[in-house]
């Protein structure tokens, strides 16, 4: 009976977190607030007693400011308590908060340790994060071969973000023997799962005929697909395609447009391409390209390939 009672308390509070309370005409708001406070106090009591599920939910209350209780430091405290109690999702949250300095001081070494624990408990996001830290030596000595092995584990679980890490390491020979054929296979796998970075990279390879038979049309399709989802490098590649006439007629207005879009969303070299191109354009054409770029911005840089 006591076990059933504890389950009911937790279930009631979960419902309170996920559903808006109904307000009927004439309802006593004071009674409602009192009831919510009572439920919250019960959750705090269970969290302090060591119940991992309650600790996790209490952390969410403090993180999201539910019931007026927003406190990022307390959120970290209760995520950490839940993590120490064995909750894998809390372990991942603690690692992320330590990495970013949210609710606590930044501590890359501790973040790596919690990513490792969560990864050992089967969390694939943590596995990829651990691999990334090993690749770049963040919070732990750099170990590219080990990073590759961890990325590969996640890649075999159909994680497109891990697959492209594997592809890039194989392509560059980062800490492992270079193998462009295997890299291409992983780029293809990641692209098929929708990874826009992989689509853009593959597109450039097909345009150049690098390690694959040259296929301008397929290369254009992949780059356009990546640009349609707002990929900065794909926008710059579109600018180069129009500037050089790679599979499409040369068009400086469109070239300037895509350089401008890429620059607007943070691509570092696109601004220089845009400025260099403007020298050979008329003021009328530059203004036309700027208007097209503004239209693209209104669409949040996605789905703005056709005007």
- pLDDT, tens digit (0-9, with 9 covering 90-100), for 28-85: 455 455 556 788 899 999 999 999 999 999 999 999 998 788 999 999 999 999 999 9
CA distance 177 to 258: 36
Residue 298 pLDDT = 80
Token reading at 201? 């990279």
CA distance 236 to 223: 10
Query: 155-204 pLDDT, tens per residue?
Result: 999 999 999 999 999 999 998 999 999 999 999 999 999 999 999 999 99
Closest of 147, 64, 140, 55 to residue 99, by C-alpha = 140
Residue 305: count other Cβ atoms within 10 Å of its Cβ: 14
Closest of 170, 217, 210, 214 to residue 189, by C-alpha = 170
Residue 266 pLDDT = 87
Token reading at 161? 């973000």
Residue 20 pLDDT = 38
Helix pair angle (160-172, 196-208), 10° resolution? 40
What is the average pLDDT value for the chain, to the nearest integer?
88
Helix pair angle (2-18, 29-48), 10° resolution? 120
The CA R_g of the chain, rounded to the nearest whole Å, is: 26
Q: For residue 305, name the pLDDT band (cuts at 50, 70, 90).
A: low
Token reading at 98? 């330590």
User: Considering only the top CATH level, what class is 48-130?
Assistant: mainly alpha
Alpha carbon separation from 219 to 141, 155, 301 (Å, rounded)? 38, 24, 21
Residue 45: count other Cβ atoms within 10 Å of its Cβ: 12
Residue 181 pLDDT = 96
Residue 17 pLDDT = 38
Token reading at 100? 């970013």
CA distance 119 to 166: 18
Token reading at 301? 């840089």
CA distance 275 to 97: 40
The full set of domain ranges for the chain reads: 48-130, 235-302
Helix pair angle (252-264, 232-244), 10° resolution? 160
**pTM > 0.85: yes or no:** no
Closest of 105, 16, 98, 100 to residue 64, by C-alpha = 16
Query: 258-275 pLDDT, tens per residue?
Result: 999 999 988 989 999 999
Percent of the chain predicted with pLDDT > 70: 87
CA distance 224 to 191: 13
């Amino acid at each position: 009976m006591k076990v059933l009672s504890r389950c009911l308390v937790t279930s009631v509070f979960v419902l309170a977190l996920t559903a808006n309370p109904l307000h009927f005409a004439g309802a006593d708001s004071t009674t409602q607030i009192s009831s919510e406070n009572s439920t919250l106090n019960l959750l705090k009591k269970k969290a302090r007693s060591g119940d991992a599920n309650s600790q996790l939910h209490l952390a969410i209350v403090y993180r999201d400011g539910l019931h007026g209780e927003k406190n990022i430091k307390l959120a970290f405290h209760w995520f950490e308590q839940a993590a120490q109690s064995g909750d894998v999702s809390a372990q991942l949250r603690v690692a992320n908060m330590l990495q970013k300095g949210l609710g606590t001081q930044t501590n890359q070494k501790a973040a790596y340790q919690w990513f490792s624990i969560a990864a050992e408990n089967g969390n694939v996001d943590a596995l990829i994060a651990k691999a990334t830290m090993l690749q770049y030596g963040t919070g732990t000595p750099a170990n590219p071969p080990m990073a590759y092995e961890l990325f590969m584990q996640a890649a075999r679980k159909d994680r497109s973000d891990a697959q492209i890490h594997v592809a890039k390491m194989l392509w560059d020979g980062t800490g492992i023997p270079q193998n462009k054929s295997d890299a291409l296979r992983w780029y293809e796998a990641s692209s098929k799962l929708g990874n826009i970075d992989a689509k853009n990279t593959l597109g450039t390879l097909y345009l150049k005929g690098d390690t694959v038979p040259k296929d301008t049309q397929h290369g254009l399709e992949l780059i356009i697909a990546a640009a349609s989802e707002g990929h900065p490098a794909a926008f710059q590649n579109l600018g180069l395609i129009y500037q050089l006439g790679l599979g499409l007629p040369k068009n400086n207005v469109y070239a300037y447009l895509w350089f401008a879009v890429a620059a607007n969303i943070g691509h570092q070299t696109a601004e220089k391409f845009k400025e260099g191109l403007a020298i050979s354009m008329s003021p009328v054409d530059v203004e036309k390209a700027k208007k097209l770029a503004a239209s693209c911005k209104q669409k949040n840089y996605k789905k703005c390939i056709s005007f």
